[in-house]
């Protein structure tokens, strides 16, 4: 085997390890969102109306995002001081085990108010682990090599769509059961199947080496880990942190086009649950491909143009999106796929953009903090807020559309204010060199 082939093979080990863990994380999160729409509103919250039950279920969904910043800060500090690998082993265990436990949780009829209390507790554990899981996956993929970083760093993002495809597809399959069987045991099986992915992801990550860039920092003469990478991040890299957080406003918008759209199609438009779930499966399949394509394109034209272009398209498409999904199942599929292709222009390029935006010394903390704080403020509450806006607007979605325009507008502005982080493009005249040692 040539040296180049060996290097390429070595590079794929951490990338595949990060991607597999990402599949577990987002399988768990998308599974929860599907269950929040179809199951949790009746299984865990007693005798309430479907709309109230759905809003309570979305509130527990948002709780996972509320604790994610804390997990990101805690584990981000550990990742910058101790290493990327130990954190990724811990977070994938937290995510997988809490999801399996949800599948075993007795419902409201069996244990009363203990059921929603335990569900919230498990959601908190999920959120704490998830707070560093994706950020760590991005760091590992981004630090696996400088060449074609946009392509390789986008693979964990593509894994998010694979997870969405798996979660929605498996849940749709079990939703075909007779209602009595689905309500009794069928909905639990997709949660319990997480044990398979957990075993595979943990095995791969145990074998994963620490990233070369982190080891280079440790070996550097006189290198000492910052006493608090988060404090250094806030005092020395505040502008970049705020820019990274702003870009993620649009990166969180998929929760409108996926989670909320699924709920709206079922509860407001009367589409069959299985048919609606299959639309999410189709968009996940397409999204996994285009995420990598957007990442590869950013290697050629830069990170900023792709992010800004995706954001501007979404601002123009959001009103047609809601008009299309009311025209039938076929148009629902088309609208969800087109919106997802566009939002992946933001999400797919985030990984390389973030990796190059922050220096290795505070990179894990920077990525985890920027993503998870905005995830808590924007991503987690979005389905709940959107559902409430539809009620306020008398069943119309125009307020939700304006919300989307505002959020992706923040992404476009933040990317415009940012330096071009792709080092090859930056050398051709970007306003500010990227602070990366890679």
pLDDT in tens, 274-289: 777 777 778 888 988 9
Alpha-carbon torsion (336, 64, 374, 305), positive or negative: negative
pLDDT at position 2 is 47
Tokens of 129: 């682990």
Q: How many residues in total does the chain contain?
A: 438
pLDDT at position 160 is 85
pLDDT at position 224 is 56
User: Which residue, 246, 264, 253, 249, is CA-closest to 389?
Assistant: 264
pLDDT at position 226 is 55
- Whether 147 and 356 have beta carbons less than 8 Å apart is answered as no
Tokens of 128: 């704490």
User: Which residue, 204, 195, 78, 205, is CA-closest to 131?
Assistant: 78
> What CA–CA distances, in Å, run from 229 to 65, 80, 129?
22, 7, 19
Tokens of 435: 């602070």
Kindly give the parts of the chain with pLDDT less than 50.
Answer: 1-5, 430-431, 433, 437-438
- Whether 71 and 132 have beta carbons less than 8 Å apart is answered as yes
pLDDT at position 372 is 85
Q: Give the residue carrying structure tokens 């990274």.
A: 244
pLDDT at position 23 is 85
Catalogue all structural domains in the chain, each as residue range(s) with its CATH number. 10-426 (1.20.1250.20)
Q: Compute the half-sphere exposure of residue 340: CA atoms within 13 Å on the CB side of its CA.
A: 30
User: Residue 326 CB: number of other CB atoms within 10 A?
Assistant: 14
> What CA–CA distances, in Å, run from 98 to 91, 118, 198, 425?
11, 11, 11, 43
Alpha helices in 147-186 (DSSP H): 149-175, 179-181
- Whether 306 and 294 have beta carbons less than 8 Å apart is answered as yes
Q: Which residues have CB under 8 Å from 167's CB, separation 6+?
A: 26, 27, 28, 30, 31, 34, 190
**Burial grade of 2 (CB within 10 A; 0-12, 13-18, 19 or more):** exposed
pLDDT at position 47 is 65
User: Which residue, 104, 129, 110, 119, is CA-closest to 190?
Assistant: 104
Distance CA 219, CA 103 (A): 45
pLDDT at position 253 is 83
Task: List pLDDT tens digits, range 78-93.
Answer: 888 888 888 888 888 8
Most distant CA atoms of the chain, gap in Å: 66
């Amino acid at each position: 085997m040539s040296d180049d082939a060996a290097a390429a093979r070595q590079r794929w080990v951490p990338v595949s390890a990060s991607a597999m863990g990402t599949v577990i994380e987002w399988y768990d999160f998308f599974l929860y969102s599907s269950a929040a729409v179809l199951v949790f509103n009746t299984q865990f919250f007693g005798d309430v109306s479907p709309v109230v039950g759905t809003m309570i279920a979305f509130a527990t969904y948002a709780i996972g995002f509320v604790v994610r910043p804390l997990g990101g800060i805690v584990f981000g500090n550990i990742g910058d001081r101790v290493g990327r690998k130990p954190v990724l082993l811990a977070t994938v265990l937290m995510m997988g085990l809490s999801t399996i436990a949800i599948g075993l949780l007795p419902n409201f009829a069996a244990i009363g108010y203990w059921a929603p209390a335990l569900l919230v507790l498990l959601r908190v554990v999920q959120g704490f682990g998830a707070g560093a899981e994706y950020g760590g996956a991005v760091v590992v993929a981004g630090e696996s090599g400088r060449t074609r970083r946009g392509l390789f760093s986008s693979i964990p993002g593509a894994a998010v769509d694979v997870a969405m495809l798996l979660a929605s597809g498996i849940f749709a399959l079990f939703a075909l059961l007779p209602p009595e069987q689905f309500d009794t045991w069928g909905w639990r099986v997709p949660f319990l199947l997480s044990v398979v992915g957990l075993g595979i992801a943990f095995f791969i990550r145990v074998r994963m080496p620490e990233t070369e860039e982190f080891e280079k920092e440790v070996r550097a003469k006189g290198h000492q880990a910052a006493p608090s990478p988060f404090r250094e991040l806030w005092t020395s890299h505040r502008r970049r942190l705020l820019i990274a957080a702003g870009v993620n406003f649009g990166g969180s918008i998929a929760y409108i086009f996926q989670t909320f759209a699924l709920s709206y199609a079922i509860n407001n438009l009367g589409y069959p649950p299985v048919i609606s779930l299959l639309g999410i499966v189709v968009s996940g399949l397409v999204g996994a491909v285009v995420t990598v394509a957007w990442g590869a394109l950013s290697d050629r034209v830069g990170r900023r143009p792709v992010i800004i272009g995706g954001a501007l398209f979404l601002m123009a498409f959001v009103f047609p999106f809601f008009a299309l999904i009311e025209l039938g199942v076929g148009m629902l599929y088309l609208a969800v796929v087109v919106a997802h292709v566009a939002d992946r222009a933001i999400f797919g390029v985030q990984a390389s953009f973030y990796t190059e935006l922050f220096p290795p010394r505070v990179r894990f903390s920077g990525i985890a903090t920027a993503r998870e704080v905005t995830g808590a403020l924007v991503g987690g509450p979005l389905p709940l807020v959107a559902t409430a806006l539809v009620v306020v607007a008398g069943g119309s979605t125009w307020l939700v559309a304006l919300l989307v325009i505002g959020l992706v507008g923040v992404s476009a502005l933040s990317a415009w204010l940012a330096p071009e982080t792709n080092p090859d493009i930056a050398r051709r005249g970007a306003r500010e060199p990227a602070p990366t040692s890679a």
